[in-house]
């Protein structure tokens, strides 16, 4: 190939962005332009979490609480202890909120959206499971308005079911933090007696806006979350 030649490209298809995809693209661009993104990673023991899921009874409407539902309970307790993360940052103001309005990422045809589960801390595990299931089904079916995605104070994105081990989740502005959840795997660990045992572990990736909170704050946040997950059967 000479300097005057170039590889041919045959257009297979040209896709215009849908209105939803344009909104997602705009918000992600805003997030990367405005926030100072940093991600900290920690693998936590998942045995307590999974034991709680196994012990949870179905709700009256037949919904079985999932790993995400138990995680939301532990997350709410963690946000109580680290309120700086349950917040937004706009107009140079770090605004902390009483309610834990957690956006839980859901994949639809047009992309990843985050319907908000309102006031997580006020709900039982069963109530959370029923509300989140109903909210997810409505979003997947296209039965939602933009208010479904507003008012969030923190976001969770779980890519574990898709086989992802770890990732750097993008903050959902104007929130200041988002928790990424990877797939649960079994790993060899050493117990207190020095014996090697196999325990299930779950990777957590916390992205935060470094303008507002620091890495040490994020590390302590994940440490508290790990403690609540170890004692997750208290939510059943």
pLDDT at position 7, please? 84
Given a cut of 90, whether residue 46 has pLDDT beyond it is yes
- Using DSSP's 3-state secondary structure scheme, residue 221 falls into helix
User: What are the tens digits of pLDDT across the range 127-137?
Assistant: 999 999 999 99
Alpha helices (H) along the chain:
19-34, 47-55, 67-81, 125-140, 215-230
Q: Which run of H or of E encompasses 202?
A: strand 196-209
* 82 is a catalytic site residue: no
Do residues 67 and 232 lie in contact, with contact meaning Cβ atoms separated by under 8 Å?
no
Percent of the chain exceeding pLDDT 90 equals 78
Given a cut of 70, whether residue 2 has pLDDT beyond it is no
Can you give the pTM of this predicted structure? 0.90
Q: Is the dihedral of CA 15, 171, 207, 202 positive or negative?
A: negative
Averaged pLDDT of the chain:
93
Q: What are the backbone angles phi and psi of residue 228, rounded to the nearest 5°? A: -70, -35
Whole-number Å distance between alpha carbons of 85 and 187: 30
Cα separation values, 182 from 4, 37, 96, 157, 201, Å:
48, 19, 27, 9, 10
pLDDT at position 20, please? 77
pLDDT at position 1, please? 57
- The active-site residue out of 82, 100, 210, 228 is 210
């Amino acid at each position: 190939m000479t300097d005057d030649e170039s590889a041919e490209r045959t257009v297979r298809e040209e896709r215009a962005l849908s209105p939803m995809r344009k909104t997602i693209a705009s918000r992600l661009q805003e997030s990367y332009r405005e926030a100072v993104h940093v991600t900290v990673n920690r693998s936590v023991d998942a045995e307590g979490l999974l034991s709680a899921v196994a012990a949870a009874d179905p709700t009256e409407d037949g919904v079985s609480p999932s790993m995400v539902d138990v995680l939301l309970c532990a997350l709410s307790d963690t946000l109580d202890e680290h309120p700086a993360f349950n917040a937004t940052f706009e107009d140079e103001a770090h605004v902390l909120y009483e309610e834990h309005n957690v956006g839980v990422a859901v994949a639809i045809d047009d992309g990843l959206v985050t319907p908000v589960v309102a006031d997580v801390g006020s709900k039982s595990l069963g109530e959370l499971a029923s509300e989140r299931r109903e909210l997810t089904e409505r979003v997947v079916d296209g039965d939602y308005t933009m208010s479904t995605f507003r008012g969030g104070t923190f976001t969770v994105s779980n890519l574990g079911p898709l086989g992802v081990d770890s990732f750097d989740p993008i903050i959902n502005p104007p929130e200041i933090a988002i928790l990424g959840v990877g797939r649960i795997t079994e790993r060899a660990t050493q117990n207190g007696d020095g014996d090697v045992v196999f325990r299930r572990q779950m990777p957590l990736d916390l992205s935060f806006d470094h303008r507002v909170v620091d890495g040490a704050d994020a590390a302590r946040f994940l440490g508290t979350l790990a403690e609540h997950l170890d004692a997750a059967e208290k939510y059943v």
